[in-house]
Each structure stands twice: as C-alpha cells, then as structure tokens.
Amino acid sequence: MPEQTTVDAIVVGAGPAGSAAATVLARHGYSVILLERGSFPGSKNMYGGVVYPRILDQLHPEWWLEAPIQRWVTRRSTMVLTDTQAVTVDFRSTDWGAPPYNGATAYRPDWDHWLAGKAEADGALLVCSTTATGLLRDGSGRVVGVTTDRPDGDLHARVVIACDGVNSFLAKEAGLYGEVDAANYTLGVKETIALPKDVIDERFAVRGRDGVDIEILGGTSGVNGGGFIYTNLDTLSVGVVLKLPKLGAQKLRPEQIIANLKAHPAIAPLVEGGEIKEYSAHVIPEAGLSMMPTMTADGMLVAGDAAAMCLAAGIWLEGVNFAMASGMYAGEAAAEALEAGDTSAGGLAGYERRLNDTFVLRDHRKLHRAPALVLSDRVQHRYPAMIANTVERMFRVDNPSPKPGLRRILNEERKRAGVRIRDLAKDTLDGLRTFG
C-alpha cells in the first residue's frame, strides 16, 4: 500500500472559484491541492465573454497589469429584437477603459489558466488531468477527502472545497442539493468568430483596447432565453442562452438558433464574413437563490457554480465574479476553521456569514425575481413586439395623419401584443423592485 496522501485542504476544480479558494488557503500557509480534470485550468470552461474582476482588487491588487484580457468593455448595449425590428439601449463610459476598469472580455482558457497560475505561485499544488470521482468519508459521515481517477488516487484532507462547477457531483453526493430540476438550468452555446481587428473596431465603433458587450432579448427563435455578442481583440463571441425545458420541447437545434440570430437584419452586418474558430457549449445554473444548496457539510464547503452562485438576471450573466468571491470567502472560512481545529459544518459557518454580508448573497437576494421575470413567457414572447412596435410608431412619419400620443400608441400596442394591463403593471413593479 502506498502511503496515504494527506493535506490540509483539497480544492476540486481550478475554475475561478477554486483558484481563489486555493490562493487564500495557500497564503494562510496551509498545504492545499487544487485538482483539475482538464489538461490545464480553463480547458473545460466556456462562458459568454465578460469578466467583472472588481473583487480581485482584494486578492491580486492591480490585476489589470497582467490579467490576460481581450478588450475593456466601455460600451454596453441591450437590444430587443423582433423578426424585423430592433430597439437598442446603448451606454458608453470612457471611465471603464481606464484603471481600475469595470469589465473585460477574456477567453476562459486564458483567464482560468492565469488565475490558477497565481494560486500556484502562492504555494497551492495544482494537479491537472485528474478527475475527483467521489467523496471519502469517515464513520460519522464526515467528508475526509476525495477519490480520483488516478491509480492509488485517494486524497485525504481536513477540509474539501467543491468548486467543481454547475454539475457538481460532489455537492450532490454530499446531499447538499435537493431534487435536480432541469427548469433551473439554461444551456449556453456560442461561436467564436474571427474578424480582423480593424473591421471589429469599425463595426462596433471602438478603438484600441475598448470593447462592446451586447445582450439581446427576443433573438432566440421563440425559445425562452437571450443572445449575446461580445468583442474580443480579433474575434466576436456570438451565442445564445436557452432555457432547458423550452429548448427540449421544440424543434430547432441550438446551432440553428445561433444561425437565425446571426441572420437577423440587425445582427448580420456585425458578424458577416467572419470565420468560425470555435464552437462551444456549457450549462448555467440560472435560478439563483431558489436553487442554491446547503453551503457546508462536516469537512466540506461548496462555492461558485457548484453552489449555483452564478447571477443570471435573465440575459445579464455574472458568474466569474461571484465564483471568485465565493471561492475567496470559502478559502477564508476554511482557513479560520483549520486554525480553530474545527472543520465541522459548525466550524465552517464563517462561510455563510461572509456570503450574507457581502455582495454575493446581497445581490442574489436583491435580484431574486430577475431570472423568472426575464425568462417569463410575457417578457420573452410579448414584450419585444410591444416595445419595438411602440418605438416604430413613435419614429414613423405618417403625414398627413397627425402624430399620435405615446400613451395611446403604448396602449394600442399593449393590446395588440396581448398583454393585460394588470400583468404589465405587475411586471413593471417587479422590474422596478428588482432592478430599481
């Protein structure tokens, strides 16, 4: 028998959550193994395309000097599409293009690799190409390590932090999740499309390292979800996010839904002529607070997508920042528990306290109505036409008929779209309570 390998902490998954957790533990001087099933960190990870790294100010000050970013997002648009119309709300800020920055486009195989490298530099032992296959427990049921798919692959630790992403089989095995419901998940599919940098600059009206983030409502061929376009240096990320049960219940395949989006008259001129460099897909935990698991067990914590921390306010997706933050707080709580010599669920309670006191759960609580609202049938299928038709009639010149008043147009278009005034009022109130 080989000697038993024991460390202070095992972090499973070298995504943003895992690397943040491992960094904190290593800095506290604990021995920590960071397990990753991919051949390098980031090789299994895809997303839409924008990171909001503010939380890194605490972990890696001046991160912007070295982080592998593509472009700084200085322009953010939300588009509402019908088959023939588009309404866009466009915001620009030059502040976002200078330190300390706001958001940036980046490729995950670059970003996650960089972040894991920082954890290694701080002393974490990164072990790639190794899948955690299950939990090791002692007689009392307490988690004492993980099994892996390597020969003699058992690893023992005083605390295990599961940062193994949306499918987290470890959190499920630990019994931290209730029944798994497909309705809580969306599928994201995306094409990375190459275009020369100057063509991108021109089409999106940006210069240098400035970039654009466009979220799209109504461009998903009738499947509840949303679309996105992000500018990288010399590629575009173009994709859709689709509510799983709705996707399964109709006839169009994901790549066809992207193709339809790309063919929309408002989108086609932006993406035309590009060469597809990569096609990718990943699932998103979409339901926020309502699907979150129990955060701690004896000897174990869950962070990032594994704990459904992704903030999916419908078409606005923030997950990497929530993963990094929850990973960081899990690392701090684990360090605290190791110091006190008590890594039971009670000893690890500092984790939930931190989540509750910071933006992680505060934002989730504030926006807890958002996913259901934005993905609701009314917002998805009725409002885009109502909004676009209203705007079209406002801008249309119907001489010699006199211009109708906005209130009248809105009322007529509301009726035409089949929206009841009571529902509109309720959704508006929900929207104000959520986003206001």
Partner 1 sequence: MRIAVCWKWVSLDRDHDVDERWAGVSAADEAALEIALLLRDAFDDCDVEVICLGPKDADDVLRSALAVGATSARRIDASAELDGHTVSAALADHLHGADLVVCGDYSIDRGTGSVPVFLAAELGAAQALGLIDVDLASAATMPLRVVRRLDGGRRELLDVSLPAVLSVEGSVARLRRAPLAASLASRSIAIAAVPGPHGRPAEAEVHPYRPRARTLPAPTGGPLTRVREILDIGGDDGHAETVTLDPPAAAGRILDQLREWGY
Partner 2 sequence: MSGAPTGERWPELSFEDLIATTRFDIHERAHITVDDAICADCSTRECVVACPANLFVPTSDGGILFNYEQCFECGTCYLLCNKEGAITWTYPEGGHGVVFKRT
Ligand X SMILES: Cc1cc2nc3c(=O)[nH]c(=O)nc-3n(C[C@H](O)[C@H](O)[C@H](O)COP(=O)(O)OP(=O)(O)OC[C@H]3O[C@@H](n4cnc5c(N)ncnc54)[C@H](O)[C@@H]3O)c2cc1C
**Total site size for partner 2, rule CB under 8 A:** 56
Site membership for partner 1, residue 155 (CB under 8 A): yes
Choices 101-109, 333-341, 342-350, 380-388 (CB under 8 A): range interacting with partner 2: 101-109
Site membership for partner 1, residue 2 (CB under 8 A): yes
The tokens 């990288």 sit on which residue?
232
Residue 254's binding partner, choosing from partner 2, ligand X, partner 1, none, with beta-carbon cut-off 5 to 8 A by kind? partner 2
Residue 319's binding partner, choosing from partner 1, partner 2, ligand X, none, with beta-carbon cut-off 5 to 8 A by kind? ligand X
Smallest separation (angstroms) from partner 2 to the CB of 402: 40
Query: What is the per-residue binding string for ligand X in 312-331, x denoting contact by CB under 6 A?
Result: -----xxxxx-x--------
User: How many other C-beta atoms are found inside a 10 Å radius of the C-beta of residue 29?
Assistant: 12
Measured from the CB atom, is 194 or 283 closer to partner 1?
Answer: 194
Q: What is the 3-state secondary structure (H, E, C) of the chain?
A: CCCCEEEEEEEECCCHHHHHHHHHHHHCCCCEEEECCCCCCCCCCCCCCEECHHHHHHHCCCHHHCCCCCEEEEEEEEEEECCCCEEEEEEECHHHHCCCCCCEECCHHHHHHHHHHHHHHCCCEEECCCCEEEEEECCCCCEEEEEECCCCCCEEEEEEEECCCCCCHHHHHCCCCCCCCHHHEEEEEEEEEECCHHHHHHHHCCCCCEEEEEEEECCCCCCCEEEEEEECCCEEEEEEEEEHHHHHCCCCCHHHHHHHHHHCCCCHHHHCCCEEEEEEEEEEECCHHHHCCCCEECCEEECHHHHCCCEEECCEEECHHHHHHHHHHHHHHHHHHHHHCCCCCCCCCHHHHHHHHCHHHHHHHHCCCHHHHHCCHHHHHHHHHHHHHHHHHHHCCCCCCCCCCHHHHHHHHHHHCCCCHHHHHHHHHHHHHHHC
Measured from the CB atom, is 285 or 384 closer to partner 2?
Answer: 285
| Rounded CA separation 98/213 (Å) | 17
Smallest separation (angstroms) from ligand X to the CB of 70: 12
Site membership for ligand X, residue 44 (CB under 6 A): yes
Choices 137-145, 151-159, 214-222, 378-386 (CB under 8 A): range interacting with partner 1: 151-159
Query: What is the per-residue binding string for ligand X in 232-271, x denoting contact by CB under 6 A?
Result: -------x-x------------------------------
Smallest separation (angstroms) from partner 1 to the CB of 168: 21
Site membership for partner 2, residue 252 (CB under 8 A): yes
Site membership for partner 2, residue 150 (CB under 8 A): yes
Measured from the CB atom, is 285 or 331 closer to partner 2?
Answer: 285
Residues 179-208 interacting with ligand X (rule: CB under 6 A): 188, 190
Residue 17's binding partner, choosing from ligand X, partner 1, partner 2, none, with beta-carbon cut-off 5 to 8 A by kind? ligand X
Rule CB under 8 A: which residues touch partner 2? 37-39, 42-47, 107-109, 128-131, 148-150, 166-167, 180, 182, 185, 187, 189-192, 232, 235, 237, 244-245, 247-256, 258-260, 263, 276-283
Rule CB under 8 A: which residues touch partner 1? 2-3, 5, 33, 39-40, 43, 109, 113, 125, 127, 130, 148-155
Rule CB under 6 A: which residues touch ligand X? 12-18, 35-38, 41, 44-45, 47-51, 131-132, 163-165, 188, 190, 239, 241, 282, 284, 304-306, 310, 317-321, 323
